[in-house]
């Protein structure tokens, strides 16, 4: 059976759990799940090329340009949650007949925002392309945040770019705007869906504000000491320690996913005739914000409890309720499975 565990702690600094902003956040997802539970991260490469049997067209006024080869490539440098965005690292055109197509040095940037049903809206900024034919040259480009079409999620996603693109320079025969059309298949990553963020954006906050306006950052120390006593009904005895502390540091301050970190030390003292030794400190995560409060989950935690010649090893996970405030608090009344020990320390159920 599992043993009853009671923690009651006080954190040593003003602390609250809050959302980072709107819940309508965006991630690129590996599965068609809402909210997303398996997201693509920073550094992901997005590649697309023309759908089989289609062509890129630009209705440029002086002629309609058609290309049988078009590719686009971008790198995700912001994986969410406000939007997914990054630079367009490559744009190519080929098979354009007698038309010369030159992508200027500014390839621009892209952003993707979730719309619905695993799909998203794609925008371009700063893309500039020169189209030259029979002595006429026209430069077209996308201004800030121009919507170019929809990304339709799937096992192999697709993107139909249908947009009006502004003339940057060129003679009177260059249409302004021109009509840009590119039916694309997303060849990487596979699969690809545009979904809401995996969890509501979470941050640790210095003030009671929703959304948070002043956050704690990476490497923030979280320290707590016992308020009252730590109780463990271990079968061999009821262990009571009046001294206990926990010290951790934040490794992911949010807002993408829960706040996470490493536990640097856990200590117990004044446990009467019992000895409590910490074998593994573990890690922690903080999530489920509501009203400045949240949950604090301790995982990979193991302690040896020894009394009257009998030793038992117990291990996490353990979930605390975290109550925000000028001095925040953690509290848990729950069960802790036995990892090893003699018959006096009953095993958890199968």
pLDDT digits (tens, 9 = 90+) for 120-148: 999 999 999 999 999 999 999 998 888 89
pLDDT digits (tens, 9 = 90+) for 21-33: 544 578 899 998 8
Of the chain, the percentage scoring pLDDT greater than 90 comes to 43
**pLDDT attached to residue 12:** 47
b (16+ CB within 10 A) / e for 52-90: eeebbbbebbbbebebeebebbbebeebbbbbbbbebee
**pLDDT attached to residue 2:** 33
For tokens 């039916």, name the residue. Answer: 183
Every domain of the chain and the residues it spans: 3-21+200-341, 26-196
Q: Is the pTM of this model over 0.75?
A: no
Peptide bond into 270 cis (omega under 30): no
Radius of gyration of the chain (CA): 29
| pLDDT band at residue 85 under the 50/70/90 scheme | very high
């Amino acid at each position: 059976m599992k043993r009853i565990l009671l923690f009651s702690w006080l954190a040593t600094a003003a602390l609250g759990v809050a959302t980072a902003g709107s819940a309508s956040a965006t991630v690129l997802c590996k599965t068609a799940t809402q909210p997303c539970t398996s997201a693509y991260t920073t550094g992901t490469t997005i590649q697309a090329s023309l759908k089989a049997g289609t062509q890129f067209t630009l209705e440029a006024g002086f002629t309609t340009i058609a290309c049988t080869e078009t590719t686009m490539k971008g790198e995700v440098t912001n994986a969410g949650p406000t939007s997914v965005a990054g630079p367009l690292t490559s744009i190519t055109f080929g098979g354009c007949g007698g038309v010369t197509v030159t992508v200027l040095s500014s390839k621009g940037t892209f952003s993707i925002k979730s719309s619905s049903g695993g799909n998203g809206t794609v925008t371009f900024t700063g893309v500039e392309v020169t189209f030259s034919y029979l002595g006429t040259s026209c430069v077209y480009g996308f201004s800030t945040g121009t919507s170019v079409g929809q990304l339709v999620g799937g096992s192999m996603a697709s993107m139909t770019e249908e947009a009006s693109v502004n003339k940057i320079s060129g003679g009177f025969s260059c249409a302004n705007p021109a009509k840009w059309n590119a039916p694309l298949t997303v060849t990487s990553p596979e699969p690809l869906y545009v979904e809401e963020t995996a969890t509501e954006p979470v941050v640790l906050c210095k003030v009671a504000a929703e959304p948070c306006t002043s956050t704690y950052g990476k490497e923030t120390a979280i320290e707590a000491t016992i308020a009252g006593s730590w109780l463990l009904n271990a079968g061999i005895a009821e262990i009571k320690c009046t001294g206990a502390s926990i010290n951790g540091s934040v490794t992911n301050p949010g807002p993408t996913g829960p706040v996470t970190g490493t536990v640097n030390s856990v200590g117990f003292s004044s446990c009467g005739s019992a000895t409590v030794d910490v074998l593994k400190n573990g890690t922690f995560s903080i999530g489920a914000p509501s009203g400045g409060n949240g949950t604090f989950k301790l995982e990979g935690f193991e302690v040896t409890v020894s009394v009257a010649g009998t030793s038992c090893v117990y291990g996490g996970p353990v979930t605390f309720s975290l109550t925000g405030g000028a001095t925040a608090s953690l509290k848990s009344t729950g069960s802790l499975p036995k990892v090893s020990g003699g018959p006096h320390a009953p095993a958890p159920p199968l």
